[in-house]
Amino acid sequence: MKAILFTADEYKDEALSLAETAFYEIAKIYKIPKKPNPNFYIQKDKVEEIKKLNDIDAIIIFDLLKSRHFINLNKELLGKKILDKVILLLEIFALHAGSKEAKLQIELAKLKYELPILKDMYKKAKITEQQGPLGAGVYGVESTIRLYQRRIVKIRKELEEIKKAKEDQIRRVNFNSVAIVGYTNAGKTTIFNYLTGLNQKVDSSMFTTTSPKRYAIPIDGKKIMLVDTVGFIRGIPPQIIEAFFVTLSEAKYANALLLVLDSSLSSTLLVEMLQSSLEILRELGISGKPMIIALNKIDKNNEEKEVEDKVNLVKELANSLYTPIIDVIPVSALKGINMNILRDKILALI
C-alpha cells in the first residue's frame, strides 16, 4: 500500500523501517507538527492536500493519536487507512505471529486500543443521531462495543491459562537459561545464530523476532538454553509492553541475561538505548539477574579507540544503573570478532 508518513526527525529512520517492514511504500515524508492540530493532529492544510491524492492508500502518523484525531481524519480522508504508532506496530506483530498466544496478545492489544475510539464514536453518533461510522448507525456502534468487551474478557481468560501453563513449563526445565535481550536491529538473532550454530532469519527489517526462539547448547556435559527474545523499540507504547508481556517474560525466568547493544550508534544514542533497555526490564519486574553486555557491530566503528571509549562509557553507566553487571564485551557477531570470548564468559557465568 502507498502511504504518507508523518514523523519527527529523530525517529525518521526507525519510522521508515517500521513502515517498510509492514509493507507500506512511503511516497512522501512530512514532519510531525511541533504543536499538534487539536482536530487532526497533523496540519489542516496537509489534510486538504492529502484529500486530493487518489494514489495514496494510507496515512501513518508516528505518534500516539487520540480518539478525536482518528474520528476526524477518517471523516475527512474517506477510503484512506489511518495508522498511528501503536496500530503500525500491531500490524507488524500480526504479520509475524505464529503461536496462538502471540495471535491472542495482538488481538487483545488491538481491541483494547480501538475500544475507546469506538466509545467516542458512539457518543458523537448519539448526539447527532446521524448514521454511525460503522454503517449501522448508533445501534451498530453500540453492538460492536458489546462485542469488543465480550471478546476482551474471553481473550484475557485464555491468555491467563496459557501464561500459567507456560510458567510451569519454564520452571520445570532442569537446565540453566540465558535470555538475549535488547533493541530491535542490535543483532540479537545474529549472536543467537553464532552461539547455537543455527540459521534463524536475520535481516535489516525491524522485529525479525516476534516470538522467542529457544535452543539448548551442550557444554561440558551440561545444557544451556539460549532464548532469543522480541526486540525493544524506543518510546515503546505501554499497550505493546502489556500485549507482549508473556513473550518478554521469557527473560524473567532466565538465570542470566545477555543484553545486546549496537556499538555503531553515536555515544548519545547508545546511552539512551542502554538506559531505556534497563528501564523496560525493570517494568517487567526483572532485577538482580547476572547480566553480560555484548557491544555488537564493532566492525562498523572507525577506530579501536572509539570502541574502547564506548566500552568504558557503557561499563560506567551500566554499573550505576544495574547490579550485577558481569562484563561488557565488544563483539562483531557478523565477523566473529570476540565471539569465543563472549561464549566462554557465558559458560563461566552459568
Annotated binding site: 182-189, 207-211, 228-231, 296-299, 332-334
Read off the C-alpha cell for 110: 488491538
d(CA 178, CA 224): 7
Please tell me the distance from the alpha carbon of residue 88 to that of residue 83, in angstroms, as a whole number: 6
Q: Contacts by 149-154 with C-beta closer than 8 Å and gap 24+?
A: 149/115, 151/107, 151/111, 152/108, 152/111, 152/112, 152/115
Residues flagged as binding site for Mg(2+)? 189, 209
**C-alpha grid cell for residue 303?**
577506530
Please enumerate, by residue number, every residue annotated as part of a binding site for GTP.
182-189, 207-211, 228-231, 296-299, 332-334
